[in-house]
Amino acid sequence: MRVVILGSGRGSNAEAILLAQREGRLGGARVAAIFSDVAGSGILSLGPRFGVPAEYVDPAPFRTKLDGEGEARFIAAVSGAQPDLVVLAGFMRVLKAGFLGAFAGRIVNLHPSLLPSFPGLDAIGQAWRRGVRVTGCTVHYVTADVDGGPIIDQAAVRVEPGESRESLEAKIHAAEHALLPAVIARLSAGAPGA
């Protein structure tokens, strides 16, 4: 299974996927390419480290969504890598109909909450401010509903009394780094429900 990773930031979840691949924990999946909408983002530095093509793709003209010319450039770049699965690992743009249609049923996202709770931006902060005792992370299929697609799997994280936002964030990231590669491995094996 050919996997393409899209990300906007430092790439810690992409790195977890690539480490799982190196250690033989990604099943039949192989990362074919990494693309970022942010020039110089940390995720792009993972390409040379892991021997995977990594490229900046200009997302213009919009700032928060992938549409118009930027969307067309991303569709062309991702299509060129012939993905069986497109993984959004910290990709901070809303996908529109063109991209969703080009890769229908093959796009998954990692979100740092137990959806449907705390969708959207700053999910960890939302959960921390609300004072929940359990939060976590979710891998789900991407649809036109932001953070609303079918859930594939989730990992729960306990919020301890008096826990700082920073320590909660670290625990959720650790859960993400375990969950996302495991889900990709299961998808590569054709696991039912995944």
- The mean pLDDT of 165-190, rounded to a whole number, is 96
pLDDT reported for residue 194: 53
Query: Does 182 fall in a domain?
Result: yes
**Structure tokens that stand for 154 in this block:** 């989730």
73: in domain: yes
Residue 90 pLDDT: 92
Which pTM was predicted?
Answer: 0.95
Per-residue pLDDT of 42-82, as tens digits, reads 999 999 999 999 999 999 999 899 999 999 999 999 999 99
SS3 string of 114-171?
CCCCCCCCCHHHHHHHHCCCEEEEEEEECCCCCCCCCEEEEEEEECCCCCCHHHHHHH
Asked if the structure places residue 95 within a domain, the reply is: yes
Q: Cα separations (Å) of 125 from 116, 131, 134, 153, 160?
A: 15, 10, 13, 21, 15
Per the structure, the count of domains in the chain is 1
The confidence score (pLDDT) of residue 190 equals 87
Q: Could you tell me if residue 177 is inside a domain?
A: yes
Tokens 């959004």 belong to: 88
Beta strand 2-7 with 30-36: parallel, antiparallel or unpaired? parallel
What is the residue range of 65's domain? 2-188
Q: Which two tokens stand for residue 153?
A: 């799997």
* Cα–Cα distance for residue pair 49/46, rounded to 1 Å: 5
- Which positions are annotated as active-site residues? 111
List, for residues 106-150, the tens digit of each pLDDT value: 999 999 999 999 999 999 999 999 999 999 999 999 999 989 999
What's 112's domain CATH number?
3.40.50.170
Is residue 193, in this structure, part of any structural domain at all? no
Over residues 87-109, the mean pLDDT reads 95
- Least Cα distance to 168 among 111, 90, 113, 88 occurs for 113
- Residue 24, in any domain of the structure: yes
Q: Is residue 194 part of a domain?
A: no
